[in-house]
Chain A
Amino acid sequence: MKAAPVFRNRLLPYLLILPQLALTGVFFFWPAAMALYQSMLKADPFGLRSRFVGLANFIRLFHDPYYLGSVRLSFVFAVLISVTAMAIALLLAVAANKHVRGAKVFRTIFVWPYAVAPAVSAILWAFLFQPEIGVVGRALKGVGVTWNPYLNSLQAQFLVILIAAWKQLSYNFIFFLAGLQSIPQSLVEAAAVDGASPRHTFWRIVFPLLSPTTFFLTIMNVNYSFFETFGVIDALTQGGPGKATETLVYRAYVDGRVNLNIGLSAAQSVVLLAIVVLITAFQFKYVERRVHYA
């Protein structure tokens, strides 16, 4: 009996991965190639006249102080949103993992926000924080806070981060909870028998064992902050006040969809793609080394 290939047909494996390859090709490589091509054109919105301009769009972008500001802002947002959303989710997951009354109810409640579309949740939060008619907005004014996110950059940024983090909380919660539940109870019990305090047990045993989940979530959260905060920003601040909440994605949208400057917008998509590829590669190269796969 031969131990090796089960599939004798050389074509079959390729055939089996073909659907996935086709999807990746059609929905990723093709648009990415189009973006790369368009980023080197200057064209009117209808595409009636277009001309090849090489790297002119990129050069313009990197000479634009506002664009560089957007780059900085996107990174700051990514860090703040990811840290907030993951820290709170971990805390909630640890709590919900305990054997307490109603743990199931809490679990369901924490998962709920994930079902709400970003734009919808932004509108709901915007209502709450609306300075004149919102419940929270009025309450803030009531206690003497000059609350107006339409004119106060820091307040607008705070609100975007809050909503974006809240939205991502459920996703992180599910993964952290699953991660926690897959940690063998015997390890935790052994630590307890050895006299470790719950804090010690968490940081020395549970958290390291959770690192694959944390690593995965870090990548997902950074990508989420870069791309999916769009709905929140669009519904809430449209990038303002000033340029206080104009992230890279929002800027690409404004230039492409609103201003119909396709070349410039495509160049931004290419930059965005490059940034995300670099971040993910960096994480896999340097951060993953410290991840402990059980």
Chain B
Amino acid sequence: MKRLVSVVSVVLLVVVGLVGFSQQEPPAGRIVIEFWNAFRGALGDTLQTLVNEFNSSQDKYWVSYVYKGSYADTMNAAIAAFQAGEAPHIVQVFEVGTATMMAAEGAIYPVDQLFKDTGVPLNADDFIPAVKGYYSFPDGRMAAMPFNSSTAVLWYNKEMFRAAGLDPDNPPRTWAEVRAAAAKIKEAGVAEIPLSCAWFTWTQFEQFGAIHNIPFATRANGFEGLDAVLTLDHPLYVRHIQNLVEMSQEGLFVYGGRDSAPDALFPAGQAAMLIASSALLGRVKREAQFEWGITYLPYYDDFVPAPFNSIIGGAALWVLRRPNASLEEYKGVAEFFRFLSTPEKAGWWHIETGYVPVTYGGYEYAKAQGYYDANPGADIAILQLARTPTTENTRGLRLGYLPAIRVVIYEEIEKALQGEQTAEQALKNVVARGNELLREFEELYK
């Protein structure tokens, strides 16, 4: 037994060692650019492919791909490295970290500045406004490089729709229609979960506010200043949460947990409808054993006659200031970014991953490849993101401690869904507790 244990541990050590050192070494003479990110698995392979292509497309720079764990881990690691004077050149930061990054003047190298300083050309107008706006300063200068962006969509199970007597080619558009469809699905008993919802705070508040053109917070959702306050007690949010609480009591809506926990319910064939990220595409394609469809997010048609553009989620690439880094290194960063935003690469990334193309060029490329004809619904996300010009309510969010605010929303909504408080109370609490967080963040930068 003892011997077996030691043999096994030696084998494990060797394997771990091999994996640890399998990172490709940069060829001599190349300028190394460190790129820290949060992708592994299928997404990691796809990103690594892009990095490898860049590395072999020229012989001056070498982008070193470093996986750092989850989004939160990656951001923490980059911050710790910055404090130690060892910041990576590029770090991938999730969208909720935007306010923190943007406020860190002196730590970040704004992308707009980067391209100006290095003289590398970039067509900033080619970026989809809803994507670019999220990562731009109030005056329109780009702060970070948009990269993997998704938006929320409604996934539905066509076979369950058929079995419940619903038209699979005519999915519900409004919340009234969603509720009616859910009732029919429940009545027919074709699914245990008529409707569920992943990333609840992102889809039912951030996205919901944007498509109805109502604010999430004052000061243009925080874009115009750190003194923003939450406006989540707006009557439409209250009405919507009330609606979901009722649907939950009637068994039409099932809360499946926080963040991505409910994702599994759709491909597993448990939920007939799921509001989730468009980037779930890869997983649905791989796992779903049934015919499925994607459609636009539902809205209240008595509130807005036509819904506005939705906003993005995902992450962007931020450039960090690194002591003693030469302009030449940053030129390599700019070249790498330019490479990523070419129509072929942006389009290829979109097709491979289900993230939206961040540029019009990428969209046109995918279209020219016949991707949308072969995959009906694959363009829903981008069409929804770009369907209207952005307003101050649909550019995105720029709020300090947004991850903490999301947690507050989860907590209060979970209490409302358990029947411990009304929707109105829940949202009042969200506003009160969220504002405390916002004031605390503001105080840091006074």
Indicate if B83 sits at the interface (CB-CB under 8 A): yes
- CB-CB < 8 A to B411: which residues of A? 240-243
Please determine whether A46 and B76 come into contact, CB atoms closer than 8 angstroms: no
Total residue contacts A-B, CB cutoff 8 A: 91
The answer to the question of B72 belonging to the interface, with a C-beta cut-off of 8 Å to chain A, is yes
| Chain B positions within 8 Å of A260 at CB level | 75-76, 79, 100
Among B257, B261, B404, B407: residue with most chain A CB under 10 A = B257
Distance in Å: Cβ of B243 to nearest Cβ of chain A:
17
* Residues of chain B with a CB closer than 8 A to A261's CB: 401, 404, 440
Chain A CB within 8 A of B19 CB: no
B100 touches A242 (CB 8 A): no
Interface residues of A in 254-274 (CB under 8 A from B): 254-255, 257-261
Distance between Cα atoms of A148 and B46 in the complex (Å): 36
A174 to B57, CA, bound (A): 59
Is there contact, CB below 8 Å, between A254 and B257?
A: no
| Interface hit among A11-19, A149-157, A176-184 | A149-157
A240 touches B258 (CB 8 A): yes
Q: Is A42 an interface residue (CB 8 A)?
A: yes
Q: Considering the complex, give the chain A residue whose CB is closest to the CB of B75.
A: A260
Contact A241 B106 (CB under 8 A): no
Chain A CB within 8 A of B268 CB: yes
What separation, in Å, do the CA atoms of A153 and B420 have in the docked complex?
11
In Å, the complex CA distance between A253 and B230 comes to 25
Q: Which of B100, B106, B256, B415 contacts A45 (CB 8 A)?
A: B100
Nearest neighbor of A44 in chain B, beta-carbon distance: B444
Q: Quick check: is B284 within 8 A (CB to CB) of the other chain?
A: no
B258, A258: Cβ atoms closer than 8 Å? no
Residue pair B76, A47 in contact (C-beta under 8 Å): no
Nearest Cβ distance between residue B93 and chain A, in whole angstroms?
Answer: 11
Q: Tell me, in angstroms, the Cα distance from A43 to B259 when the chains sit together.
A: 28
- Name the interface residues of A225-242: CB closer than 8 Å to any CB of B: 238-242
Judge whether B417 and A151 touch: CB under 8 Å.
yes
Interface band, chain A: 20 to 34
Q: Give the nearest-CB partner of B259 in chain A.
A: A238
Query: B417 to A45, Cβ gap below 8 A?
Result: no
Closest beta carbon of chain B to A255's beta carbon, Å: 8
| B54 interface residue per 8 A CB criterion | no
In the complex, A99 has a CB within 8 A of chain B: no
B320 to chain A, nearest CB (A): 10
User: Does B49 lie at the interface of the complex (its beta carbon under 8 Å from any beta carbon of A)?
Assistant: no
* Chain A positions within 8 Å of B107 at CB level: 46, 48
Contact A49 B444 (CB under 8 A): yes
**B25 contacts chain A at the CB level, 8 A cutoff:** no
| Known pairs A240-B258, A261-B440; A45 contacts B418 (CB<8 A) | no
Q: A46-B107, A258-B72, A259-B401 are in contact. Are A240 and B414 (CB under 8 A)?
A: yes
Which residue of chain A has the shortest Cβ distance to B421 in the bound complex? A242
> Which of A42, A49, A151, A238 is in CB contact (< 8 Å) with B255?
A151
| B264 with A259: CB separation less than 8 A | no
Q: Closest Cβ of chain A: how far from B6's Cβ, in Å?
A: 15
Which A residues, 126 to 181, have Cβ-Cβ distances below 8 Å to chain B? 132-133, 148, 150-153
8 closest pairs, A vs B, by CB?
Answer: A241-B414, A150-B257, A259-B404, A132-B270, A46-B104, A46-B107, A44-B444, A242-B415
> 25 A-B residue contacts at CB 8 Å?
A44-B103, A45-B100, A46-B104, A46-B106, A47-B83, A48-B105, A48-B106, A132-B256, A132-B265, A133-B265, A151-B255, A240-B257, A240-B258, A240-B410, A240-B411, A240-B414, A241-B415, A242-B412, A243-B411, A254-B404, A254-B407, A255-B404, A258-B404, A258-B407, A260-B75
B contact set with A: CB distance below 8 Å:
72-73, 75-76, 79, 82-83, 100, 103-107, 192-193, 254-259, 261, 264-265, 268, 270-271, 401, 403-404, 407, 410-412, 414-415, 417-418, 420, 437, 440, 443-445
Q: Given contacts A46-B107, A261-B404, could you give 20 more A-B pairs where the C-beta distance is less than 8 Å?
A: A44-B104, A45-B79, A46-B104, A47-B83, A48-B105, A132-B254, A132-B265, A133-B270, A150-B257, A150-B258, A150-B261, A152-B418, A240-B258, A240-B411, A241-B418, A242-B411, A254-B404, A258-B404, A259-B404, A259-B437
What is A's interface to B at a CB cutoff of 8 Å? 42-49, 132-133, 148, 150-153, 238-243, 254-255, 257-261
